[in-house]
Amino acid sequence: AWKFMAAPGHFKYVLYRNFHGDPSNEGVYRCTMLQKVLYENKETKKMEVANFTKWFDVSLNKSFFIQSYYKMAQLNGTSVKNVLSARHRRSAAKQCKNVPCVQVSHPLGGTAQKEEKRPCETACEMWVRAENLNKASVSKDCTSYYERFCGEAKFPLYNKTICDLVEEADVTVTSDDGCHRDEL
C-alpha cells in the first residue's frame, strides 16, 4: 500500500520528473511539494491534518498552493492495488481532476507514476522526504529505481533556495469544496 504521503514528516518534494507539469509545457514550475498542516476541525473540535500541494512558477515569480485529498484506490483495468488517488476537492461527487499514482517502495522516497493526458507508464515523479533530500539526491538506488520504471528523462524541480521560500509561506485550511488555486 502507498504509505509515502501519509508517512511522518511535514514536507515531501518532487526531486525530478520526466515531464513538465505546467500547461505551457515549458518547465516553469519549481519546488513541487507536499506540506502537512495541523488544524482544528471546527465541526468536530478535533485536531486534523490537511495536505497541501505547493509549487513555484518561475515565469510568474509566484508561489501557489492547493489543498489536496488522498485515498487508496485500484488502478483502472489492472490488478495494481497500491494506488494513491489525489484530488483537489473534498467531495468525490463533484467534478474535479483525479490523479492516480503508482508507487515503487523505497526507504528514501518514492517513484510515482502519474496518469493524466498520457499513459501512466510515461509520466513519473521522484518524491523525497525533506529529511532525505541530501541522501536521495546522490543515491544510486533511488536513481536506478526511477530509471527502471520511468526512463532516463529527468527534469529537476527541487531548488533549495526556492523551496525554502515556498516552505515558509502560510496556507489556509478551508472547507471549500471547489477546485481552486490560491496564490501564496
3-state secondary structure 77-107: CCCCCCEEEEECCCCCCCCCCEEEEEEEECC
* Mean pLDDT, rounded, for 142-158: 82
Output b/e per residue, 65-94; b: 16+ Cβ within 10 A: bbbbbeeebebeeeeeebbbbbbbbeeeee
* Mean pLDDT, rounded, for 146-168: 86
Per-residue pLDDT tens over the stretch 25-55: 778 888 888 888 888 888 899 988 888 888 8
> What is the distance, to the nearest Å, from the Cα of residue 88 to the centroid of all Cα atoms in its chain?
12
Question: Number of helices (H) and strands (E), helices first, in the chain?
Answer: 3, 10
Closest Cα to residue 54, out of 174, 166, 158?
A: 166
9-18, 66-75, 128-137: which range is least confident on average? Answer: 66-75
Output the pLDDT for position 70: 62
Mean pLDDT of the chain: 68
Output the pLDDT for position 93: 33
As given in the structure block, the three cell numbers for residue 170 are 502560510
What CATH topology corresponds to 11-172? Lipocalin (2.40.128)
For the CA atoms of 42, 46, 47, 49, what is the dihedral angle to 10 degrees? -80
Output the pLDDT for position 11: 81
- Cα separation, 107 vs 164, in Å, equals 24
Q: Indicate the domain borders of the chain.
A: 11-172
- Residue 51 CB neighbours (<10 A): 18
Pairing of strands 83-87, 182-183: unpaired
> What is the distance, to the nearest Å, from the Cα of residue 42 to the centroid of all Cα atoms in its chain?
26
pLDDT-derived band at 4 (thresholds 50, 70, 90) equals low
Which one is predicted more confidently, 124 or 30? 30
